[in-house]
């Protein structure tokens, strides 16, 4: 029995390693992509391109503009378009906001009236516009308080834990690693069985006296080993090259990483049993990859998604793994902190493997 499994795995290994191109795709591409995308900066809204029309042009209005310049939220510059064509700024995307200071700005201020400043914003990027308007009204409030010599009674001191400098690399790399692992493992296994049946070699295997489970294990284990290698390489790159702190237990991450790989491999295997051609399998794999990437909490938090989608994310192992990687690496979280995610992945993995075995059985009959 044991010799059988080992023999079968051996055959699978030979099959995978025979194709040098596959190895290149599996090992070289993830490394290159991680090195590139680690440097992608996430949408921290800074230096918003701003143009202004100052119809007052008084010391006070210039001080107001300078208040916007302070800090790195805005980069105000005088507008070079006439006021009635200020949307040219937005059509060419050279500016995202235009401030219009009325001619009676300093006069109204001196009369202790409330003066209104116009702020016209390009709303096509809803998120950064929203944040930008928030910044702008806060700057205006602060400016008013300063001018009136009113000191705010309550001040807030802020402290950011785990990533105080808000380095985007720390945030990006775990997400990229999880995405790459999902991609590689699902792509490989989703082809595994359908490839044999498309080429007609599945019959040859079926006439040999190996059980369904042996066959499924034999199809999974080589890819699991490859997956572990890819995980080790990419995470090592994250720590050594990108200098991401690793505060938690390496052993725990390795163990939970293995559980994660089992779930993605199981999903790939399942796809392999429900499709008829390699192309179909690849489409399923592709669909699942996009699903796991976009709903994992990598780009936006899961709590932000509509409720039905939040329920669907329970089928996404990457969602749990991302919490685990960020937790262990950055927060030093232990198993006690991460048990809900761990249980979810184990359940998911067990369910999907059973489903794959069931489908495979039915196909044989």
Partner 1 sequence: MRKILFIARKEFRHVMRDPRSLVIVLMMPVIMTLLYGHAINMDIEHVTLAVVDKDNSPSSRDLTGRFFASKYFDHPTEAISDFEPEAILRSGHAHAVLVIQPEFGASMERGDKVRVGLIVDGSDNNVSAAVQNYAVGVVQQFNMSRIPPGFELPGVAIAPQVMYNPDLRSSHFFVPGLVAILLMMISALLTSITIAREKETGTMEQLLTAPVTPMQILTGKIVPYLLIACIDGAIVIAMAQIVYGVPFVGSHLLFAGFVFVYVSTALSLGVLISTLVSSQQVAMMLAIMITVMPSVMLSGYVFAIKYMPMPLQIISHVVAARFFVPVVRGIMLKGSDLASLLSQGIGMIVLLIVFMSLALLRFKKRMG
Binding-site member from 119, 202, 225, 314 for partner 1 (CB under 8 A): 119
Shortest Cβ 146–partner 1 spacing (Å): 9
Read off the DSSP letter of residue 96: S
Total binding residues toward partner 1, as defined by CB under 8 A:
118
Binding-site member from 12, 54, 56, 122 for partner 1 (CB under 8 A): 122
Which residue in 190, 201, 199, 209 sits closest to 359, CA to CA? 190
Please state whether beta strands 48-54 and 97-101 pair in parallel, antiparallel, or not at all (unpaired). Answer: parallel
Residue 107 within binding range of partner 1, rule CB under 8 A? no
Of the two residues 82 and 164, which places its CB atom closer to partner 1 in the complex? 164
Strand partners, 98: 51, 120
The pair of three-digit structure tokens given for residue 204, joined into one six-digit string: 């040859």
Residue 116 within binding range of partner 1, rule CB under 8 A? yes
The pair of three-digit structure tokens given for residue 258, joined into one six-digit string: 């293995």
Shortest Cβ 87–partner 1 spacing (Å): 6
Shortest Cβ 233–partner 1 spacing (Å): 15
CA–CA gap between residue 191 and residue 204 (Å, rounded): 17
In total, the chain counts a number of residues equal to: 365
Of the two residues 176 and 356, which places its CB atom closer to partner 1 in the complex? 176
User: Which residues within the stretch 174-213 sit at the binding site for partner 1 (CB under 8 A)?
Assistant: 176, 179-180, 183, 187, 191, 195
Residue 269 within binding range of partner 1, rule CB under 8 A? no
The three-class DSSP label of residue 302 is helix
The kind and range of the H/E element at 100 are: strand 97-101
The pair of three-digit structure tokens given for residue 84, joined into one six-digit string: 């009635």
Residue 171 within binding range of partner 1, rule CB under 8 A? yes
- Residue the block writes with tokens 């090259």: 241
Residue 19 within binding range of partner 1, rule CB under 8 A? yes
The pair of three-digit structure tokens given for residue 166, joined into one six-digit string: 């808000």
Binding mask 37-56 for partner 1 (x = CB under 8 A): x-xxxxxxxx----------
CA–CA gap between residue 275 and residue 278 (Å, rounded): 8
Shortest Cβ 237–partner 1 spacing (Å): 15
Binding-site member from 17, 213, 287, 358 for partner 1 (CB under 8 A): 287
Residue 235 within binding range of partner 1, rule CB under 8 A? no
CA–CA gap between residue 220 and residue 79 (Å, rounded): 62
User: Which residues within the stretch 71-100 sit at the binding site for partner 1 (CB under 8 A)?
Assistant: 87, 90-93
């Amino acid at each position: 029995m044991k010799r059988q499994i080992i023999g079968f795995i051996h055959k699978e290994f030979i099959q995978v390693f025979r194709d040098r191109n596959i190895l290149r795709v599996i090992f070289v591409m993830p490394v290159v992509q991680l090195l590139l995308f680690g440097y992608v900066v996430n949408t921290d809204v800074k230096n918003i391109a701003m143009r202004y029309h100052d119809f007052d042009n008084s010391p006070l209005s210039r001080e107001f503009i300078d208040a916007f310049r302070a800090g790195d939220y805005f980069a105000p510059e005088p507008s070079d378009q006439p006021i009635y064509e200020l949307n040219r700024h937005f059509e060419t995307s050279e500016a995202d906001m235009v401030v219009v200071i009325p001619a009676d700005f300093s006069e109204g201020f001196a009369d202790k009236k409330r003066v209104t400043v116009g702020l016209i914003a390009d709303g096509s990027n809803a998120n950064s516009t929203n944040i930008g308007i928030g910044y702008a009204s806060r700057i205006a409030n602060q400016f008013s308080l300063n001018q009136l010599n009113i000191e705010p009674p309550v001040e807030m001191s802020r402290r950011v834990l785990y990533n105080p400098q808000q380095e985007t690399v720390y945030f990006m790399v775990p997400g990229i690693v999880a995405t790459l692992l999902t991609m590689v493992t699902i792509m490989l296994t989703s082809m595994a069985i359908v490839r044999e049946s498309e080429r007609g070699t599945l019959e040859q295997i079926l006439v040999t006296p190996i059980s369904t489970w042996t066959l499924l294990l034999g199809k999974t284990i080589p890819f699991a080993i490859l997956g572990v290698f890819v995980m080790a390489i990419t995470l090592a790159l994250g720590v050594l090259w990108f200098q991401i702190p690793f505060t938690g237990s390496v052993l725990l991450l390795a163990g939970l990483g293995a559980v994660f790989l089992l779930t993605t491999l199981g999903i790939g295997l399942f796809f392999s049993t429900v499709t008829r051609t390699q192309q179909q399998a690849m489409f399923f794999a592709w669909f699942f990859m996009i699903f796991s990437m976009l709903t994992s909490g990598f780009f936006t938090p899961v709590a932000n998604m509509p409720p039905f989608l939040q329920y669907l994310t329970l089928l996404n192992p990457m969602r749990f793994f991302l919490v685990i990687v960020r937790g262990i690496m950055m927060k030093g979280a232990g198993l006690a902190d991460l048990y809900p995610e761990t249980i979810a992945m184990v359940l998911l993995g067990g369910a999907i493997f059973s489903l794959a075995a069931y489908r495979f059985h039915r196909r044989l009959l």
